[in-house]
Structure 1
Amino acid sequence: MKRRFFKMMLLLLKLSPSAMVPMAVLLVFSDAHAAGSQVLNVFLVQNSGWMEPFYTDSNSKFKPLIKAVIEKVCRKGDEVVIASFNQSVGANRSPLLAYRGNEPAAIVKALRDINLAKKPGERAYADTDFKEAVFGAITQYSPGRPCILWIFTNNKNSPQNSPETAARNREFYRWLQNEDKIERIVAFPYPMPVKGKYYQANGVMLYAMAYGKPANDALVKLIAAKRPFEDQPARLKPLNADAVTFVPTGVAKQGNFSAALGADGSTLVLQFDSSSKPEVAVIYGQFRNDFFPYDIRSADVSLAVMFRGTSHGIQSAIEPRTLVSVPAGRQTPMVAV
């Protein structure tokens, strides 16, 4: 007697919130492995005008923070790239490579040697060009190779930025959302009160940008493993996918079949006798709002089951069909599919 294996890929659920931007749901299960070695980690450290207190305050933990993040997201022996960035003017180039390699002592020295940049021939601190920094980092340090850009910044342009630079930065922010190869952007706000001679700040921002699908997959795994921080980051991109995760909690045993998660952790395998009468499989679980830091006010939910491109007559349904008031990071009451 033959047995047929149906793999129900939990990737077909669609979410259409009525009070938020449209989004599709990707149902995934967490994998705590860190980033693969084929993905290069590039650490960009801002050293322009507004960053003055992070470099001059004797109590600043800015560089120890960068070192700690490197240790959290990289495996021992992984190649890392460290570069400072501000704005290229004359002989002052940005981004500027500080170190490339995998020696811990050299990493510490490279961070120690990064200091505030000034405009050539002037006492004024350098301005900031984020687009130049990201473009330069990808094309110079990781051409044709997936990478994660870790950007340490106070989230401000320099005080003397020209209108042209400000316009380029606005254009850059639009480009980030529209560029397909930048698949994911998240932000980790980190409190760090600092006070310098000219400026003061209450914290620093760490952005992580995934360039290429392998980098996106690696970044998702790092976040699931709570690296580099325990707290969930704010997601800035994508804004139309991965809104919620379906967390299965059990299967109602009502017939001659078995159910289990596949080896990839994201496929539900239903095994039953194809020659027997039709079976009904009821899967219980909860939806978790992973669209941090946004709350979902309401959303319509639908379910489709596909096997090798078609449904093969398999009927599917989900109850309830509407999600209501799901705060960020929280789960819905039990649902059945």
Structure 2
Amino acid sequence: MRRGLLPALALACTLAVPGAMALAAPVSHVFLVQNSGWMEPFYTDPASQYKALVTEVVLAAIQPGDALVLAAFNQSVPGAPSPKALLAAQVNDQPQRAAVAGALAPLAAAKKPGSNALADTDLGEAVSASIATALGGKPGLVWLFTNNKNSPNNDQATAQRNREFYELIHHGASIKKALAFPLHMPVQGRYRASGMMIYVFAVQDQGARDLDALLRTGRLQKVITEPPARLKPLDQDTVRLYPAKVENVPGVTFSTQPSGILRADIDAGASAAAAAGAGGTPDARIQWRLENTIYPYTITSARLAARSVLAGAEKPIALGAETVSGLAPGKSQPLSSTMALPVAHLPGKWSLEAVKAAGSAAVLPGAIEVQLSEQKLELSQAFRERMATLFPGDPLPDIFTPPSQVQGSRAVLPLEVRMRFGIAPLLALLGGVAALLLAGGAAVLAATRPRKVQVTVEGELRTLHVKAGNSQPLFDKAGNKVAVLNTTLFGNTLTDLRDGAQVRLGR
């Protein structure tokens, strides 16, 4: 990259809103709009919807607080840097349509300095410059609007240029996720074109999370109705599991929640019997639908393995098939499995946890994981034909060829095992507490109520009323102390007997 390649873009990022790029904006966006010579019909055809589409995508992607950079790009040459900023701002609560549309309105196909020749294209240069300069190496999203013709210096070595672009996307460490939207857009000018491509590159892990969050809102899908083609990563979430049928074991009921979690409700009493008869791990038989979610790739072959992760314990799941083959994007195939339920890790019916959860449930979160190894991917034939129609004669679809080192992936289905407890443990505990309180009350009553004790002093029978724990001196007829009567919960005793005194308990 040439020195001083992006002075306009960098300057706009820092000056349009003071400190805009230094502030921690929720998301930083860079929108790159191609205006090289091959884009001529997108600008000259009166029916072209190119600028309108760019405007709608920008407005769908941004939110208040985001940092926005809109730039045109072709190929940087002396006297004509590329990319070149059209608009840079920090998005506020005011409508942005006029600002974005106004920045795009004068944009036309660029010419080389001092020449009538139209400018060339360098896709890799534009993306690399945006990551390094506009984003400054920080997280963000880079959007690329292009007709897919990558021909710097108008040389015919497009295959090599495409390979460089391919390497940047698939092996560039900063790009964590990349999607592409091939769109039908026929235009006629000096040249003819049938379609265009929108790429979005998520920079760093935070950028990938930002992109996922944007897709979950559905805002972008209201503008682009075509499904996104995944470029990267190809080793995550390539399949999805859908429970189709569950053969419930005694005392266990399965259900699929709206959030996608598979829930197993276990009755505390029934699970104890099931666990006793199955070594503590009753088995559940589940029929799945295994769906290919990695559009536009067909999983030509892969080996399957599965496990459950619950309470820190990992247990293998027996599958009805060890391989998957010829699974086209969006299609699914049946898959049976047998899974052990770890009821031994759940609280016992009479445990403290059961008492605390009386009338509700104790929850054990976990997951079911399916691993695909020795995975072979192939671009689906339907997608190849679509790309050939939109971009005739263009070898750029090679960018969708999976890297050779992508050999495996995994899918994770959240699992929630819940044991329901009745109120019997709580009632038993309350009953025990009540019994203890009654016994304590009786003891207190016995300790505080006066007790009738009979003693004989020098042949005279006396009846005394004494509380437990107290001591009472005894005197003879002359008023001399002859003994002490001690009373406890367990009986009466005489102490400090005077020598020769005639004192005894009872008659």
TM-score by length of 2: 0.53
Task: Say if 2:231 is the partner of 1:243.
Answer: no
Post-superposition Cα deviations, 1:244-293, rounded to whole Å, max 9, x if no partner, equal 11123464431445666799x57656565697532323444311111212
**One-letter identity of the residue aligned with 1:63:** K
Q: Does the 8 A contact of 1:129 with 1:169 survive in 2?
A: no
Following the alignment from structure 2 to structure 1, what is the Cα–Cα distance between the partners of residues 251 and 333?
Answer: 30
Task: Say if 2:182 is the partner of 1:194.
Answer: no
Following the alignment from structure 1 to structure 2, what is the Cα–Cα distance between the partners of residues 91 and 202?
Answer: 32
1:48 to 32, 36, 47: 36
Cross-structure match for 2:78: 90
Task: Say if 2:293 is the partner of 1:300.
Answer: no
Mean CA deviation greater in 231-240 or 82-91: 231-240
CA shift for structure 1 position 113: 2.8
**CA 1:327/1:127 → structure 2, altered by over 3 Å: closer, same or farther?**
same
Following the alignment from structure 1 to structure 2, what is the Cα–Cα distance between the partners of residues 315 and 184?
Answer: 31
Unaligned runs of 5+ in 2: 1-24, 339-507
Task: Say if 2:202 is the partner of 1:230.
Answer: no
Mean CA deviation greater in 137-146 or 52-61: 137-146
Following the alignment from structure 2 to structure 1, what is the Cα–Cα distance between the partners of residues 125 and 118?
Answer: 17
- Three-state SS of the structure 2 residue aligned to 1:230 is coil
Following the alignment from structure 1 to structure 2, what is the Cα–Cα distance between the partners of residues 100 and 164?
Answer: 34
Mean CA deviation greater in 167-176 or 137-146: 167-176
Following the alignment from structure 1 to structure 2, what is the Cα–Cα distance between the partners of residues 221 and 288?
Answer: 22
**CA 1:143/1:262 → structure 2, altered by over 3 Å: closer, same or farther?**
farther
2:145 to 141, 152, 156: 152
**CA 1:218/1:258 → structure 2, altered by over 3 Å: closer, same or farther?**
farther
CA shift for structure 1 position 207: 1.2
**CA 1:144/1:257 → structure 2, altered by over 3 Å: closer, same or farther?**
farther
Following the alignment from structure 2 to structure 1, what is the Cα–Cα distance between the partners of residues 76 and 157?
Answer: 14
- Of structures 1 and 2, the larger Rg is shown by 2
Following the alignment from structure 2 to structure 1, what is the Cα–Cα distance between the partners of residues 117 and 238?
Answer: 45
Q: Does the 8 A contact of 1:189 with 1:203 survive in 2?
A: yes
- Three-state SS of the structure 2 residue aligned to 1:83 is strand
Post-superposition Cα deviations, 1:78-98, rounded to whole Å, max 9, x if no partner, equal 432211111111121111111
**One-letter identity of the residue aligned with 1:245:** R
- Three-state SS of the structure 1 residue aligned to 2:132 is helix
Following the alignment from structure 1 to structure 2, what is the Cα–Cα distance between the partners of residues 333 and 307?
Answer: 25
CA shift for structure 1 position 151: 0.7
Following the alignment from structure 2 to structure 1, what is the Cα–Cα distance between the partners of residues 98 and 45?
Answer: 24
Which residues in structure 2 correspond to 1:7-22 (within 5 Å)?
none
Cross-structure match for 1:110: 103
Identity over the aligned pairs, expressed in percent?
Answer: 38
Which residues in structure 2 correspond to 1:143-222 (within 5 Å)?
143-158=136-151, 160-162=153-155, 167=160, 170-196=163-189, 198-222=190-214
Mean CA deviation greater in 155-164 or 225-234: 155-164
**CA 1:232/1:165 → structure 2, altered by over 3 Å: closer, same or farther?**
closer
CA shift for structure 1 position 324: 3.6
Which residues in structure 2 correspond to 1:287-326 (within 5 Å)?
287-307=290-310, 310-311=313-314, 314-326=315-327
Instruction: Work out which structure has the larger RCO, using CA pairs closer than 8 Å and 6 or more positions apart in sequence.
Output: 1
Q: Does the 8 A contact of 1:256 with 1:279 survive in 2?
A: no
Following the alignment from structure 1 to structure 2, what is the Cα–Cα distance between the partners of residues 195 and 315?
Answer: 59
* Paired positions, count: 297
CA shift for structure 1 position 100: 1.9
Q: Does the 8 A contact of 2:151 with 2:161 survive in 1?
A: no
TM-score by length of 1: 0.76
Mean CA deviation greater in 84-93 or 166-175: 166-175
Following the alignment from structure 1 to structure 2, what is the Cα–Cα distance between the partners of residues 261 and 147?
Answer: 35
Cross-structure match for 1:330: 331
Cross-structure match for 1:14: none
CA shift for structure 1 position 136: 1.2
Q: Does the 8 A contact of 1:255 with 1:280 survive in 2?
A: no
**CA 1:233/1:282 → structure 2, altered by over 3 Å: closer, same or farther?**
same
Following the alignment from structure 2 to structure 1, what is the Cα–Cα distance between the partners of residues 198 and 128?
Answer: 18
Mean CA deviation greater in 163-172 or 43-52: 163-172
Cross-structure match for 1:17: none
**One-letter identity of the residue aligned with 2:125:** E
**One-letter identity of the residue aligned with 1:323:** V
Q: Does the 8 A contact of 1:49 with 1:158 survive in 2?
A: no
CA shift for structure 1 position 144: 3.7
Following the alignment from structure 1 to structure 2, what is the Cα–Cα distance between the partners of residues 82 and 335?
Answer: 51
Q: Does the 8 A contact of 2:296 with 2:329 survive in 1?
A: yes
Cross-structure match for 1:280: 283
**One-letter identity of the residue aligned with 1:39:** V
Unaligned runs of 5+ in 1: 1-36
Cross-structure match for 1:22: none
**More strand, by proportion:** 2
Post-superposition Cα deviations, 1:10-36, rounded to whole Å, max 9, x if no partner, equal xxxxxxxxxxxxxxxxxxxxxxxxxxx
**One-letter identity of the residue aligned with 2:167:** R
Following the alignment from structure 1 to structure 2, what is the Cα–Cα distance between the partners of residues 308 and 147?
Answer: 37
> RMSD of the TM alignment (CA)?
3.0
Q: Does the 8 A contact of 1:50 with 1:157 survive in 2?
A: no
Cross-structure match for 1:99: 87
